Amino acid sequence: MRGRRRRTPLALAAALVALAVVVPHANATEGALGRPVSGTGVQPNAGVVSPEPIWAVNFAEIYFDGNIGGSRQAPIAGTTSLGLNGELSFTLATLMKTWKTDTGAWNFASSFTLPYLWTKATATLSGGRGNSAGTSQTASNLFDITFTPIIAGYHFSKTDHMSFSVAIWAPTGRYDPNALANPSLNNWTFIPQVAYTKFVPAYDLEFDVIAGVQFYTRNTATNYQNAPLFTLDVMGLKKFSNGLGVGLVMGTTQQLGSDSGPTADQLNGFRGHDFALGPIVTYDTKIDGKHPLSFSARWVPTITATNRLKSTKTFMATATLVF
């Protein structure tokens, strides 16, 4: 376990970035996706909060290109679109601090994430008298910031760990209610989350699970209220002595109720769900033999989706440095 403990701080910082993962080209489930991207919310050691007081910096890059076919309507920009495509490049910088505590099995941390977004949205909108026309818009700017005041971790044993947190998204990005592409969702979002990590040292295996519920405030510009979303991401990982790791990631987002508001009512609540599955590769090393550095890369295509954007091009890469 001594080697695993040394990797814990950087894995925790990577896990905190999962709280900041979104596809933000439109307004929450109003844009057919919301803040979660299924399959990107789980990281190695997700349930472990380091007992050592450290600072860590994490950078994450996400590329997503998804669509809803033209046979389905989707709510966006205060109206409905017959078909919708969303493409984005999303960069997140997270600063994380674990606190010195003398509380036995409990440890605590805090984090702050500054995200930057480039996004493109393409939709087919009604032009009146039964006419419709395709239109496309792009946007790039700082996105809504997110912070997690307290992450509380509990160590059942050297091989079993759990953490609890509440992430808060603030609508700080620029928002235009008439735009298809926006660097903001124009709502507050509160995400209570629980994570669990299980090590199997005899086989160098690791299993991680993260589950959460996302609660959105109303988008006052479009009067669209998103229903809560339940998210569940699971990962199995095999580690090797040379620092490499390979594994499989599964993720799902399930809407717990119907959206409400004039546009949502036209679409019978626009209730949706999806499921994603794909591989992950990790690598752990050290700079100058003392500063832990880790990398990860994954591809998590959507297997199935209803009233949510479906993508075969969902990629995520992360890098974490502990100091």
3-state secondary structure of 156: coil
The DSSP letter of residue 18 is G
How would you write the pLDDT of the chain (323 residues) with one tens digit per residue?
Answer: 433 333 445 445 444 444 444 444 333 344 434 578 899 999 999 999 988 888 999 999 999 988 775 545 555 555 556 667 778 888 999 999 999 888 789 999 999 999 998 888 877 665 545 545 567 888 899 999 999 999 999 999 999 999 999 999 999 998 888 887 888 889 999 999 999 999 999 999 999 999 999 999 999 988 888 899 999 999 999 999 999 999 999 999 999 988 888 877 777 777 888 999 999 999 999 998 888 999 999 999 999 988 788 888 899 999 999 88
Tell me which fold the domain 2-322 belongs to: Lipocalin (2.40.128)
Domains of the chain by residue range:
2-322
**Helices assigned H by DSSP within 18-77:** none
- Quote the pTM value: 0.84
Q: How far is CA 54 from CA 101, 132, 195, in A?
A: 12, 56, 20
